[in-house]
Amino acid sequence: MTKRFESKKRLKRKWLLEYLFLLLFAYLLIRLCIYTLVDISPTSYFSMKDLSKSFYEEMKASTINNPTVLLSYRGHAVSLKQPLLAASKPSNKKIYLYSTHNKETYQTGEKVTQAALDFKTALNDFQVDVHLEEGDIQEFVEMNNYAYYQSYQASRLFIEDALKKDTYDLIIDLHRDATSKNNSTLKTDEKSYAKVLFVIGGKNVMYRENYAIAEEIHEAIEKKLPKLSRGILVQTGSSVNGIYNQDLNANMILLELGGNQNTYEEVQNTISVIAPIIGEYLYGKTI
C-alpha cells in the first residue's frame, strides 16, 4: 500500500514538472515570436517593458501615416490620398507609368518606352514622382506564349505587383495609336503636336471613377491648347477589351500619345504641354 502511494506521488510530481515545463516553453515561444516581429537588441529581449514598447511602435508604424488603396475586382477602390496623420514634410504625388504594348514605335523609329521616359522626366520637373515600369511586358508575353490580345493579362501581373509595393495617385498605361497623320496631329503657327486620346474601359467596375479623371485632364488640355486632345473613347463592344485592367484601381487611365505617323519631335512637343497639366491636376492647383 505504501509503495502504491509513493508511486502515485511520483506520478503527480512528474505531471507537475511536465506542466511547468510546457508553461515555460510556451512563455519562451511567445517571447521569441514577438522578438522576431520587432527590431530590438538581444539585451532588451529580456525586458518585458522594452519588448512591449517595441512591439507597439512596430504595429503603430505599419498602420499610421501610410496611404492605403483597397483593391477589389468586384468592389470599388478606396484611395486615401492624404496620410491619416499630418506628416512633417508632405510627400510628392506619385504616378505608376507603364506601357502594355511597349514595342509600339513612332514614324521616326522611337518606341513608346522612350516617350514614357521623357514623360517621366517632364513630370519630375513638376514635383511628381514617377515609377516607370522597367519590365519588358511584350517580352513577358512572348516568353509565356501569350497571344498579342492577351497583353493586358500580362501587364495586369506587373500592375498588381506594383500596387503591392506602393500606392499611386495616378496610373497611366501609355500607348501610341495607329491612325492617319491628320487624325493624330495638331498644327499651330509655331509647332506641330501629336494629339492625345483617353481610352476608358466601359465594362470595368471603376468606369465612372476612371472616366472622371480622364474628363478632368481632357478639359484642362482643351483650355491650354484646344484640339490637342481627341477626347475620351469608351470601349464597350464585344470585340474590344472593355476593361484594360482599370478595374484594379480608381485612378487609372489609358493614354494614346500620338500615332504611328507622328514624328518624335511632335510627341515631345505634346509632352511639354500635358506634363504640367497633369501636375496641376494631381496637386489641385497651378504649380
pLDDT digit string (tens) for 49-107? 554 544 444 433 333 333 222 222 223 333 334 444 444 456 899 999 999 999 999 99
The CATH number for 188's domain is: 3.40.630.40
Tell me the torsion sign for CA atoms 128, 134, 136, 140.
negative
Report the C-alpha gap between 109 and 264 in whole angstroms.
8
Looking at 53-57, 217-221, 236-240, which range is the least confident one?
Answer: 53-57
**Residue 70: partners with Cβ closer than 8 Å, 6 or more residues away:** 77, 78
Claim to verify: residue 6 and residue 124 sit in the same structural domain: no
Distances (CA, A) of 253 to 24, 69, 188, 198: 57, 17, 27, 7
How sure is the predictor about 196, in pLDDT bands with cuts at 50, 70 and 90? very high
Q: Which three cell numbers stand for residue 5?
A: 502511494
How far is residue 287 CA from its own chain's centroid? 24
Clarify whether residues 122 and 169 are in a common domain.
yes
Tell me the pairing of strands 78-79 and 69-70. Answer: antiparallel
In terms of domains, do 100 and 129 share one? Answer: yes
User: Quick one: 178 and 206 in the same domain?
Assistant: yes
Mean pLDDT of 109-136: 97
| Residue 183 pLDDT | 97
* SS3 at position 54: helix
| 110 and 167 belong to one structural domain | yes
Task: Kindly state whether residues 230 and 177 are assigned to the same domain.
Answer: yes
Q: Is the model's pLDDT at 224 over the cut of 80? A: yes
pLDDT value, residue 27: 72
Residue 117 has pLDDT above 50, yes or no: yes
Instruction: Report pLDDT for 33.
Output: 56
Q: What is the pLDDT of residue 5?
A: 47
pLDDT at 285: 67
Res 214: pLDDT: 97
If asked whether residues 253 and 136 sit together in one domain, one would say yes
What pLDDT shows up at residue 158? 97
Torsion, CA 139, CA 156, CA 253, CA 64, rounded to 10: -120
Residues 49 and 89 in one domain: no
User: Quick one: which of 124, 111, 134 has its CA closest to 258?
Assistant: 111
Q: Which domain holds residue 27?
A: 2-63
Share of the chain above pLDDT 70, in %: 72
Q: What is the mean pLDDT of residues 259-287?
A: 93
pLDDT above 80 for 172: yes
Q: Give the DSSP letter of residue 92.
A: P
147 & 256 share domain: yes
Q: What is the mean pLDDT of residues 195-199?
A: 98
The pLDDT assigned to 237 comes to 81
| Distance in angstroms between the alpha carbons of the first and the last residue of the chain | 96
**Bridge partners (DSSP) listed for residue 276:** none
Verify that 12 and 149 share a domain, yes or no. Answer: no
Specify whether 149 is located in the same domain as 240.
yes
Q: Which pLDDT band, with edges at 50, 70 and 90, does 12 fall under?
A: low
Q: Total structural domains in the chain?
A: 2
Chain mean pLDDT for the chain: 81
pLDDT recorded at residue 83: 43
pLDDT of the residue at 185: 98
Nearest to 157 by CA among 167, 147, 144, 170: 144
The answer to whether the beta carbons of residues 95 and 168 sit under 8 Å apart is yes
Q: What is the dihedral of CA 279, 99, 227, 217, to 10 degrees?
A: -30
| CA-based R_g, the chain, Å | 28
Residue ending a domain, among 11, 32, 63, is 63
